[in-house]
Chains A and B, each alone.
Chain A
Amino acid sequence: MTRRVRPVRQGTGPRPAARYALRAAALAVALALWQVLSGRDVDLWLRFSQFPTVADVARAFAGRVTGPDYWTDLTESLTRILTGFLLAAVLGVAAGVLVARSRLAEDLLGPLLEVVRPIPAIALVPVAILLFPSNEQGIVFITCAAAFFPVLVSTRHAVRALTPVWEEAVRTMGGGRWRVLATVVLPGALPGVFGGLSVGIGVSWICVISAEMISGQYGVGYRTWQDYTVVDYPGVFVGMITIGVLGWLTSTAVELLGRRLTRWLPRTSYVPGARPRTGRPAAPVSPAATAVPAGPAGPAGPEPEEARDEHLVRD
């Protein structure tokens, strides 16, 4: 435990590159395995005979990317998710603050929100069809509903957990309700809010794709389902990969924005389980130091993010 080392933030020479190589190699191995299993039509209990090979998928991908529909689908899906997610962010933060700060709002909105919250957003499809004149609006509604609750809940918790002296300090400086809101509540709740936003963007993707599969007319989810119904399996995989990459990019964007806006959070000056600084020492790193995973941090937990997100900032 005594050999915690300060992370070296400046370029550490080949190390980040080595880690990149490792990641790329892991991906390559997975792809190679896929190619072998599907190329040789392996049929042990799991059946790969119908499975498209990596080469099939790559060919299909190349065809799609140069075709007309792919980019339309992509922008459709992105527009839907961004509209729904941004709406959810604004509404979720507003409702969360309101419920946390006002007893009246809590009494009025609380029961309603608690009853609607357990309903999976995708189960709202019939409601969306009844309510909205067009499919498009229905999909955005479902996406928004999906992200709304994680944002609401984490905002509510974050606002309730604010240190009371901050508010007392601002009030004794002559700050009223709105100043307390602007200078204490919103900035102070931001770390928690971003926890909710990170969860929300993930759930949003699930719901936008599902909703597109049910009722879309363009969009990555719609296309993937279409390919499935016409037995175009490489096309299905192209859709899945597209969803994966888009989801990854958007959640990374949320994460980066969150880190940027909450840079004031005190962070530990060392990375738990970080690699040693200079040349791998012969002495093994104590298990306690390496065992601390850079695993999923609590939404608002500031410290482990340092480790979890290092690939975002350093590499």
Chain B
Amino acid sequence: MSTSSETEARAAAVPRPPARGTRLTLRAAALGRPDAPAVTGVDLDVAPGEILTVVGPSGCGKSTLLRTLAGLLPPLAGAVEQDGRPVDGPAADRALVFQDDALLPWRTLRANVELPLAFRGVPRAARREQAAAWLERVGLAAQAGQLPHRVSGGQRQRAQLARALAGRPRAVLMDEPFGALDAQTRAGMQELLVEVLHGTGATVVFVTHDVDEALFLGDRVALLGAGRLTAVRDVPRPRDRSAHDDPARVALRRDVLTSLGT
């Protein structure tokens, strides 16, 4: 949190087109269901266009954090803001990508991707065209007419990504989107995500329990545990596979693992 100015400086340096991203802020927020608060006292500021990854053990409230940012869950205390305005419900501005099975099974991949476009009032022909373009971009042009259960888990997640981005959201909230994939598919999906996000300028909050994934993708990584947000750390050389052995990255990885208690 103390490093947001640094992050902004870096985000500006990264060759991204004018940021369409949005600033997401949590102030002294308590999150969860009324009878069972999952996380309390959260102060977090996600800069426009930034990729923030959130790591923590299962059940630590990562999904709750994401659903609160999406507007599906009102905060129990404190404030949730988007660009300084309180978040009071879900909106097309903040797309949510789920772990699995969030595609509507009775719609083909194309029809799923067309859905947010239809909600935005895009005319049918343009919808078709844009959906095809997005599916092409995630490498699913050939599967566009398939039903979700006919394609592999990795392909479903790619379709979900296309669906989320087709609505041109200013923030993309991702809830362990690659959690159900095998290691190899997962690495491929990470690359694809970086590539596809490039040029959208969208702010990303990416929840995962995989520390390496968090360190590869995130400009910053937030650590969640024991019902609190324990730290937010800058990641050296994000989205650079060769930085894996960078001493700074190795040190950070050790720190993160230590503080997660694994």
Contact = CB atoms under 8 A, between A and B. Distances in A.
Interface string A234-274: 00000000000000000000000000001011100000000
Interface stretch (B97-105, B207-215, B253-261): B97-105
Interface string B108-152: 000000011001100000000000000000000000000101000
Contacts of B149: 266
B96 interface: yes
Nearest to B166: A173
A168 B116 contact: no
Nearest to B70: A172
A174 B70 CA distance: 11
A188 B105 CA distance: 8
B90 A171 contact: yes
Interface string B236-261: 00000000000000000000000000
Residue from the set A174, A175, A262 with the largest chain B CB neighbour count within 10 Å: A174
B119 A172 contact: no
Interface string B25-46: 0000000000000000000000
Contact of B91 (A166, A174, A183): A174
Q: Identify whether the interface residues of B are mostly helix, strand, loop, or mixed.
A: loop
Contacts of A168: 67, 70, 72, 90, 96, 98, 102
Given A174-B119, A175-B119, A179-B119, A266 B92 contact: no
A184 interface: yes
A168 B173 CA distance: 12
A171 B72 contact: yes
A163 B147 contact: no
B94 interface: yes
A184 B103 CA distance: 11
A259 to B, nearest CB: 13
A165 interface: yes
B98 A169 contact: yes
B95 A172 contact: yes
A264 B173 CA distance: 28
Given A172-B95, A174-B91, A264 B72 contact: no
A89 to B, nearest CB: 19
Nearest to A266: B149
B225 interface: no
Contact of A173 (B71, B106, B119, B147): B119
24 contacts: A163-B101, A168-B70, A168-B90, A168-B96, A168-B98, A168-B102, A169-B103, A169-B163, A170-B115, A171-B72, A171-B90, A172-B70, A172-B94, A172-B95, A173-B92, A173-B116, A173-B163, A174-B119, A174-B167, A187-B104, A264-B105, A264-B106, A265-B105, A266-B105
Given A172-B95, A174-B120, 5 more contacts: A165-B101, A172-B70, A173-B92, A264-B105, A265-B105
Interface of B: 67, 70-72, 90-96, 98, 101-107, 115-116, 119-120, 147, 149, 163, 167, 173
Interface of A: 163, 165-166, 168-175, 179, 183-184, 187-188, 190, 262, 264-266
